[in-house]
Amino acid sequence: MKRFYVTTPIYYPNAKPHIGTSYSTIMADVLKRYHKLFGREAYFVTGTDEHGQKIQQAAEERGLSPLAHCDEMAENYKTAWKDLEIDYDHFFRTTAEWHIQSVQTCLQKLWDKGEIYADTYEGWYSVSEEIFYTDKEVVDGKSPSGRDVTRIKEKNYFFKMSKYQQQLIDYINNNPGFIEPDVRKNEVLGFLKQPLGDLCISRPKSRLQWGVELPFDTDYVCYVWFDALLNYATAVGLGRTGMESDFEKWWNSDEAGAHHLLGKDILTTHAVYWPTMLMALGYKLPKKIFAHGWILNKDNAKMSKSQGQLATAKDFTDLVGVEPLRYFLAHDIHFGNDAPISIELVVNRVNNDLANNIGNLLSRSSNLIVKYFDGKCPGSSDTDEPTKKLIALAEKAADIVKEKIETFDPSRALEAIILLLNEANRFLEEKAPWTTAKTDVAQAGKDLYSAIEVLRISAILLSPVLPEKMSELLTRVGCQDRSFTAAQKWGLTKEGTPIEKGSPLFPRIEMPKDV
């Protein structure tokens, strides 16, 4: 793979960004930055899903036009992502004129091919999820996830999704990495054991105006999920004149392909609706659909908007800073699983891994080099057994990180770096250069050189998660070459490189009394 295309769901602008949406976005950012570090070209799309009844209602409640409401909310997202150091390449809004046109082109194509037909729809609709449900799925007047539903009976248009059921099952079975983690793949295959219905893809304008007009019947707008899912492909050029080569480059080429990150609650739309839409349109399917878990509160329940208890990233970053929160999310939530977040968990993680581990190694070694070596890095490491062991671990770290990131396992990638840093701290404890500096300064120099090398390698490998902090660390240890290949090699720091002492990179955080 030469190129890495990654997406987050496009978020409903009926609410401000919260810890759940921040989580998907931070993880996409971390993955994009890692792939860039590995020397790939990378493209990252996030954005807002602006059509549909939910947004129309949210705007009405605020006395605004839907677009004015979305303009404001899209800005909230952009600001939040900037604050979290999200390096997206494109902020997607489904109200962009070119997207609307591309959606209409796709609808027309499916209509012309006979993949869409008109019929009467009778069933249930959940506005908060913007999902249609059958009688069987609705239990005690609620959707399977407990949301309110309303009864609908009206003429609508349907996409022949059922036609692609077997093709989709075969595709999933023949492409093991297509839906991950495995538990989610099995969930989709389980869902596909039942006969798959066709997908209602329209809403009459008498009910809903806020959507993409159907090109073959102007009394209707397109169902919001149909419009929204297409974003992943229109963002890189599907249906856009002049962008054919971009579409080829990011979507179709064997060297690229889309990687969709999403929460497990929106798996069916991504793993069933979307691939069948692409099959009918005649385009390649995404490379990977990765469903992550939920961020839970202290009581291990999903933090959710409807419960009114959603934390925001700011609830944490005000105390610990942005990059430490990124680190916590990437490290403590094993990608794909549910996991809790709380101030206590974040503070402990930051103190253990960042302040004590990496921060401590940096301050101890830089202080000693300033004190005993006039701030100039000694020349080389020792050749004794403990040093050999440390070097072996350090030289392996980059490859482990690469392998874990490529298999969507960032927690284990970070664990490998922390293990190396732990070993380096233990190594210094054993070698005690603060003592040998007074009796055998050459020995102290060799051991401090090893500590600096571990810091250099670890900081390059941690930079996608902690971009500014690691850049500062690398500057303090005089590192110029911050490439992945430099992280694979021991011994690149030159003798005499100026080492700076500086204030603590990650000050210890006191646990606030009121939590």
Binding interface with ligand MSP (CB under 6 A)? 9-12, 20-21, 23-24, 49, 228-229, 231, 262-263, 265-266, 294-295, 302-304
* Alpha carbons 46 and 66: distance in angstroms, whole number: 20
Residue closer to ligand MSP (CB basis): 11 or 132? 11
Residue closer to ligand MSP (CB basis): 179 or 474? 179
First to last CA, the chain: 46
Which long-range contacts (C-beta less than 8 Å, at least 24 apart) are formed by 342-348?
A: 342/297, 342/298, 342/515, 343/315, 343/316, 343/319, 343/511, 343/512, 343/515, 344/511, 344/515, 346/316, 346/319, 346/320, 347/319, 347/320, 347/509, 347/511
Residue 263 Cβ, how far from ligand MSP at the closest point, in Å? Answer: 2
Residue closer to ligand MSP (CB basis): 37 or 330? 330
Across the beta sheet with 90-93, what order do the strands follow?
90-93, 41-48, 3-11, 258-263, 288-292, 179-180
Residue 166 Cβ, how far from ligand MSP at the closest point, in Å? Answer: 25
Residue with nearest beta carbon to ligand MSP? 263
Listed in sequence order, the DSSP H helices in 378-409 are: 385-406
Residue 309 Cβ, how far from ligand MSP at the closest point, in Å? Answer: 10
Residue closer to ligand MSP (CB basis): 23 or 125? 23
Task: Fill in the amino acid letter for 301.
Answer: A
* Alpha carbons 3 and 232: distance in angstroms, whole number: 16
Residue 244 Cβ, how far from ligand MSP at the closest point, in Å? Answer: 23
Residue closer to ligand MSP (CB basis): 124 or 290? 290
Residue closer to ligand MSP (CB basis): 24 or 387? 24
Local structure of residue 84 (DSSP, 8 states): T
Residue 53 Cβ, how far from ligand MSP at the closest point, in Å? Answer: 12
Residue 320 Cβ, how far from ligand MSP at the closest point, in Å? Answer: 19
Q: Is the distance from CB of 39 to CB of 484 less than 8 angstroms?
A: yes
Q: Is 168 helix (H, G, I), strand (E, B) or coil?
A: helix
Residue closer to ligand MSP (CB basis): 175 or 337? 337
* Count of beta carbons in the 10 Å neighbourhood of residue 178: 20
Residue 54 Cβ, how far from ligand MSP at the closest point, in Å? Answer: 9
